[in-house]
Structure 1
Amino acid sequence: MNLEALREKPVRYGIGLMSGTSCDGVDAALVAIQGTGARARVEVKAFRTYPYSPRLRRQLLAPRMTARDICELNTFLGTKFADAAEKLAAKAKAHDISADFAASHGHTVAHVPPRGHADGGTLQIGDAAMIAERLKIPVVSDFRPRDVAAGGQGAPLVPYADWLLFARKDKTYATLNIGGIANFTVVTERIEDVVAFDTGPGNMAIDGMARLATYGRISMDKDGALAANGKLIPELLEQLLDHPYFDREPPKSTGWEEFGPEIYLEGFAPPQHGERLEDLVATVTLAVARTIAQAFLRFIQPQHSVSRVIVSGGGVLNETLMTLLVKELPDVPFRKSDHYGLPCKAREAVAFAILGNETLCGTPNNVPAATGARRPVILGKITV
């Protein structure tokens, strides 16, 4: 389709694609979007997660990859993203909806934010050409490097979508996404005032402990069942909370390089002194809840009167984590994003559909206050 004709459509249907640091599969969301910028209207039409095979998940979780590994995975993951997009497009077609474009975050294999005078970088794989070839529609991808080029950290990028979805004239909401990494966005009426940052590890640490402590036999703590039956290991909690990242001032972002399980859980995963699996997972779960709460109390509450925290991400399904979070922040009202028509696991896939729409319309779609970029820029590259 001609890009100019696509921009002129009253409603554009985009497929947002996301593979997060939890490495559980491709999240795909079909989103109807009218307009662009502050006037845009968004409706989620469909969402599904297409799980990775155990073998592919092991490859993505490997602590070390060669250049050849990355090269081959880039192409192979591209086909997996194409599979997911094609299946969701077929589902839409059954309801007389044709996808106009796709927007793929890809899968992050390295994210090194610039710090001081040191150059950083960010690398996502999952070749967009595979999606474009299969679906014969434009694909927007590789969003993060443009923000880095403008002096930003390349993350977080979802705050733009949070602002578009949740900004209100008379209220200030915060959104909390608990994926592999947990992050907050303070959604203000003016995008220039939006505050967003990564708090630290989320499911990456919890599931990582379950996986490493069982030598891969258990890949995650489903519903928080292990943590619910565990007891605190004080020395492990002290180690987990004593990380310099938690003291850094926003804007800040992080990832596998700082909180990969093999690094963050060193000395306890696999167990060194006969610790029970349940106790290990319970302690990590408490650490995740506490670091989220401390980030809110330290970096958000003193400057913003937040009327509600809207929670999304796979961590919402961890009942033990959510119970601990409410205990850590007893005066903060939490509400799942599902109440706002946004399925809790769909947030990032929906966000990248929104970001892709803005790129196609030529609308700047980073949030400099969140990423540290010098100015607003148009993110991504378009494959036709």
Structure 2
Amino acid sequence: MNKNIARLARIASKKSRAIIGLMSGTSMDGLDVALCDISGSGMQTKLKLRAFETVPFHPDVKARIGEVFAKSTIDFELLCILNPWVGQLHADLVLKCLKNWRISPEKIDLIASHGQTVYHSPASQHPEDDINATLQIGDGDQIAVRTGITTISDFRQKHIAKGGEGAPLAVYGDYLLLSHKTENRILLNIGGIANFTYLPAGYQPNKVFVTDTGPGNTLIDHVTRRLFPGEYYDKDAARARQGTVNDNLLKALKADRFFELPFPKTTGPEVFSMGYVQTAQETSDTIDLDPEDVLATLTRFSAETIAAGIRKATGKKKFSIYLSGGGAHNPLLTQWLRELLNVNELRTTEVIGVPGDAKEAILFAVLANETVAGGVTDFGRRSKIPSVSMGKVSFPQ
């Protein structure tokens, strides 16, 4: 037997596995690095978060990835170079974290790397070609060789191969870690794009539901960077709070066909870009709107489309909402969500055992654990969630 395969078999048979989950989202703020101890698999999965850090990206890193990010026309040579370059970058950041945590790489069983999404293209965006597609860069072989740790990466491709759109993937870990016997739960992640998992009470995988709702932070961040140089996001909604929602612009923003598509569905910054905002302003004759009013309207846009998606999915059922992602720190966005959904409190997923800022990195660690030591959870056809394990294995030797 190949020694790498033999070692992977030993890892799979261990009582507990040390797995590092990596996540870099569409905001490209930095790399989330979550060191998890995971035992069991499936509904018997037990997780302990040993360490977590978000390593911020230098502006030069953001600029370099930004040359190909969500662009339909790019320098193909640059994309080719970026794939190993991002893998090497992520590997070096993992080694840096391990050094800071005083943990030897030999003590880590697996790395679960999401990679950096550079383009997401579900079939709804190009109906002439009935195929879903997504691309994440950050070669897993580079990470494995540079760290000496077996790496599982490129998770989204199997999801697509089995009929999904490549997103959202959080549902798999959400179901295994955060389902509840008596409580209907909405796990709302507000990253660049907002999505939620609906977990009905009683551990019923065939009734689980997941979808994107549209923009979370992406348009707010784009406009903040464009109109307020030096500011990367609207911290504490300070700019939006100074503005007033413009109803004409809000109506134009909500007119896109994406919001008419049936659930479940996915999208990305390829659709919801700075150009999307500019077109909406031209349509609504609000080109000269004050920057603060634009940000207030975009924040309201995210709140209303998120709330509409949740109401559509849950009907009259009672549920509890738990937040994760950067949008959980936006006080105006969360205030409007409370009002629109008629709830008194929006808590983060930390109160049910998974810190919100680390959640996505943790969930990829769980996916890797399922790849090597688990089975396949059957979500049934009704849920439209592919019942599949995901990830490609890269050995260090």
* TM, length-normalised to structure 2: 0.89
Indicate the RMSD between aligned Cα atoms, in angstroms: 2.4
What SS does the aligned partner of 2:279 have? Answer: coil
> Which amino acid in structure 2 is aligned with residue 379 of structure 1?
M
The one of 373, 381, 384 aligned to 2:392 = 381
Structure 1 distance, partners of 2:118, 2:91, is 19
Partner of residue 11, structure 2: 6
1:66 aligns with 2:78: no
Contact 1:79 1:131 in 2 (8 A): yes
- C-alpha contact 1:359 1:379 (8 A) present in aligned 2: yes
Of 40, 44, 54, 2:45 maps to: 40
Partner of 1:351: 363
When structure 1 is superposed on structure 2, of 83-92 and 11-20 the one drifting more is 83-92
2:122 aligned with 1:120 = no
- The alignment status of 1:153 with 2:165, answered yes or no, reads yes
Instruction: Give the equivalent residue in structure 2 for 1:274.
Output: 288
Cα drift, residue 54 of structure 1? 1.2
The aligned length equals 379
- Please tell me whether the aligned partners of residues 216 and 327 of structure 2 are also in contact (alpha carbons under 8 angstroms): yes
Contact 2:323 2:348 survives alignment (8 Å): yes
Equivalence for 2:276: 263
Q: 1:35 to 1:362 in 2, by over 3 A?
A: closer
Cross-structure match for 2:245? 232
Summarize the Cα distance change of 1:370–1:182 in structure 2 as closer, same or farther, 3 Å threshold: farther
CA contact (8 A) 2:191 2:217 kept: yes
Displacement of 1:371 in angstroms is 8.0
| Contact 2:21/2:112 (<8 A) preserved | yes
2:132–2:166 contact (8 Å) kept in structure 1: no
> What percent of counterpart residues are identical?
36
Amino acid at match of 2:291: L
Q: Shift in Å at residue 89 of structure 1?
A: 2.5
Aligned counterpart for 1:287 among listed residues 301, 307, 313: 301
Distance 1:96 1:82 in 2: 11
Displacement of 1:218 in angstroms is: 2.5
The alignment partner of 2:393 has SS state of strand
Residues 1:327 and 1:360: Cα distance change in structure 2 (over 3 Å): same
Q: Using the alignment, how far apart are the partners of 2:360 and 2:38 within structure 1?
A: 16
- 1:178 corresponds to 2:187: no
- Structure 1 length normalisation: TM-score? 0.92
* Range with greater deviation from structure 2 (96-105 or 281-290): 96-105
1:68 to 1:341, Cα distance in 2 relative to 1, 3 A: same
- Give how far 1:261 is off: 2.8
Superposition deviation, residue 114 in structure 1: 2.9
| Structure 2 gap segments, 5+ residues each | none
Q: Does 1:166 align with 2:211?
A: no
Q: Work out the CA distance in 2 between the residues paired with 1:368 and 1:333.
A: 33
Query: Per the alignment, in what secondary structure is the counterpart of residue 232 of structure 2?
Result: coil
Distance, in Å, in 1 between the alignment partners of 2:382 and 2:142 is 31
Give yes or no for contact 2:13–2:373 (8 Å, CA) kept in 1: no
Aligned runs of 1:102-117 on 2, under 5 Å? 102-115=111-124
Moved more, 5-14 or 259-268: 259-268
- 1:303-341 Cα offsets, whole Å, 9 max, x none, are x432x1010101111111111111211236521112233
Q: Does 1:194 align with 2:205?
A: no
- Verify: 1:26 aligned to 2:31, yes or no: yes
1:212, distance to aligned residue in structure 2 (A): 2.4
Q: Which residue of 2 aligns with 1:211?
A: 225
Q: Where does structure 1 lack aligned partners over 5 or more consecutive residues?
A: none
**Separation in 2 of the partners of 1:273 and 1:355?**
45
Maintained 8 Å contact 2:193/2:217: yes
Deviation of the 1:90 alpha carbon: 2.7
Q: Hey, what does 1:334 align to over in structure 2?
A: 346
Within 1, Cα distance between the matches of 2:139 and 2:318?
42
Partner of 2:254: 241
Matches within 5 A, 1:87-102: 87-94=96-103, 98-102=107-111
**Local SS of the residue matching 2:305:** helix
Q: Which letter maps to 2:257?
A: P
Question: Which SS does the other structure have where 1:159 is aligned?
Answer: helix
